[in-house]
Amino acid sequence: MDRDLSPQDKKDLDKFIKFFALKTVQVIVQARLGEKICTRSSSSPTGSDWFNLAIKDIPEVTHEAKKALAGQLPGIGRSMCVEISLKTSEGDSMELETWCLEMNEKCDKDIKVSYTVYNRLSVLLKSLLAITRVTPAYKLSRKQGHDYVILYRIYFGEVQLSGLGEGFQTVRVGVVSTPVGTVTLSCAYRTNLAFMSNRQFERSAPIMGIIVDHFVDPPCSGQRPATMGHPCNYRAPDEEDGFAGVQDSQEVCTTSFSTSPPSQLYASRLSYQPAALAGADLCHPAANPNQVLHAGKEGGVLLVPAYPPHGADAHLTVEHAPNTPGSSGDGDGLSQSEDGRRDDGRRSASPTDPVEALNAFTRKVGAFVNRPVTQITAASLDLPFAAFAPRGLGSEENDPMVQPPDSPPCPSPLQASLHSQGSEGSGPQDDFVMIDFRPAFSKDDLLPMDLGTFYREFQNPPQLASLSLHISSQSMADDLDSLPEKLAVYEKNIDEFDAFVDMLQ
């Protein structure tokens, strides 16, 4: 009962609880800013360091806390809660934790307010400092920036834990008995972070939809407190204006962070996923850990090929072989990287740029593949230094470029080389065979990106701009016509070439 407490003690106690609440909010929010905190110890006491702890006061946070408290104190049935949530650059958000400062009826009349309660509140704040570094949201908050940001919301009243998902865990930071009740500080944190990885694949967000502040400094010490201080004052979804408020404040938040250019965005999204997965594993075995992992893995594979568009096309044309019978011959192998080539008939479809065709062939056949290599001879191509091209590429008779196959039923040697069984006249689907690829010096391991996957994915890099020549601009005939000129030039410089060759020897 309050009558047992002297007025001075009551006043002191109220003050202690009020400032304790404010300092609690500061500690929690500062621990989620994404930076390491460092404050100095001072042997000479200053009047402003409540509970003898050096805890900085971020003005916006104090303002928000005072606004939420609205002159009241945490009491029975009136808890002060700080909700920490994560918001991705795509707009998805998820509650991570809720810190609750509650008061219950259990009183301790004998305790001395000005001394014991004060010191115990100080110890409780230290415990809060320790525990805020231990919950899963800490690691997530340290990695925030490109893909997601951490936001806070302070509210007063009933504790709402429904947004934390199933299986959330609770950790009690501590309790302090006072003559008017027992102060309890606890944290409920989400354990199921699988939501994030799954959600990412439901959306195919355009890269350009995100604000790119290429040259803005990344959020660092000076800037961060201001942005975190933006009130994350969203209310329940049924309030329209609440949402609008959220959009505004969070848009502001987003622009002040430097999001990376598109390519990096993909890469960093990939790197974000492991963080979420690690978080899921950290506190509680996730409901479907395998599911989560696979989602992440697939995502990794799905997203990356989209980036180099040429490569993706090449990949796709390889997978879905051309349907027209006429191109099942040489067109197949030769035109695998350039769709347009098929259109100009077989002859011209034969690579106008022999170098490119050679590249196309060698690219298609992976290293260490247990198949006969392409049977084109470099010698048959009119290349300068053709003699230096890799040998053993097959005899001239089988060379489709010298003697293009006449009709579809006669498969190209290249096709034959890629067939697992040399079946003829087979459908387009059999042209390309999935070969079990075992790159040297790599072992079957659990890493998501092993050497084999890497090689497969990056086997078809985009064409160099200098090498991709438009079909209509040149044809084989033109090439042949220009050859005498080229030969003349080379003959003129023959001394130079000889000198070069001597130098090599």
Stretch that binds another protein, among 166-174, 249-257, 379-387, 461-469 (CB under 8 A): 166-174
The yes or no reply on residue 424 touching another protein (CB under 8 A) is no
Q: Is the separation of the CB atoms in 31 and 201 below 8 Å?
A: no
User: Nearest distance from residue 49's CB to another protein, in Å?
Assistant: 4
User: Nearest distance from residue 189's CB to another protein, in Å?
Assistant: 11
The yes or no reply on residue 476 touching another protein (CB under 8 A) is no
The yes or no reply on residue 127 touching another protein (CB under 8 A) is yes
Across 128-168, the runs of DSSP E, i.e. the strands, are 148-157
The yes or no reply on residue 383 touching another protein (CB under 8 A) is no
User: Nearest distance from residue 279's CB to another protein, in Å?
Assistant: 11
Phi-psi region of 385 (alpha: psi -120 to 50; beta: other; left: phi over 0): left
The SS3 of residue 57 is: coil
Residues 437-466 that bind another protein (CB under 8 A): 445-447
The yes or no reply on residue 54 touching another protein (CB under 8 A) is yes
The yes or no reply on residue 52 touching another protein (CB under 8 A) is yes
Residues 139-158 that bind another protein (CB under 8 A): 139, 142
Contact string (CB under 8 A) for another protein, positions 175-194, x = contact: xx------------------
Q: Is the separation of the CB atoms in 158 and 213 below 8 Å?
A: no
Stretch that binds another protein, among 33-41, 252-260, 291-299, 422-430 (CB under 8 A): 33-41
The SS3 of residue 377 is: coil
- H-assigned helices in 148-239: 194-202, 224-228
> If residue 97 lies in a helix (H) or strand (E), which one and from where to where?
strand 93-104
- Directed axis angle between helix 118-132 and helix 7-31, to 10°? 10
Q: Residues 48, 50, 56, 61: is their CA dihedral positive or negative? A: negative
Binding residue for another protein, selected from 1, 3, 7, 44, defined by CB under 8 A: 44
The yes or no reply on residue 126 touching another protein (CB under 8 A) is yes
In DSSP terms, 447 is beta-bridged to none
User: Nearest distance from residue 123's CB to another protein, in Å?
Assistant: 6
Q: Residues 199, 205, 208, 209: is their CA dihedral positive or negative? A: negative
Q: Which amino acid is at 423?
A: S
- Interface residues with another protein (CB under 8 A) are 36-46, 49, 52-54, 115, 120, 122-124, 126-127, 129-131, 133-135, 138-139, 142, 171-176, 278, 281-283, 445-447
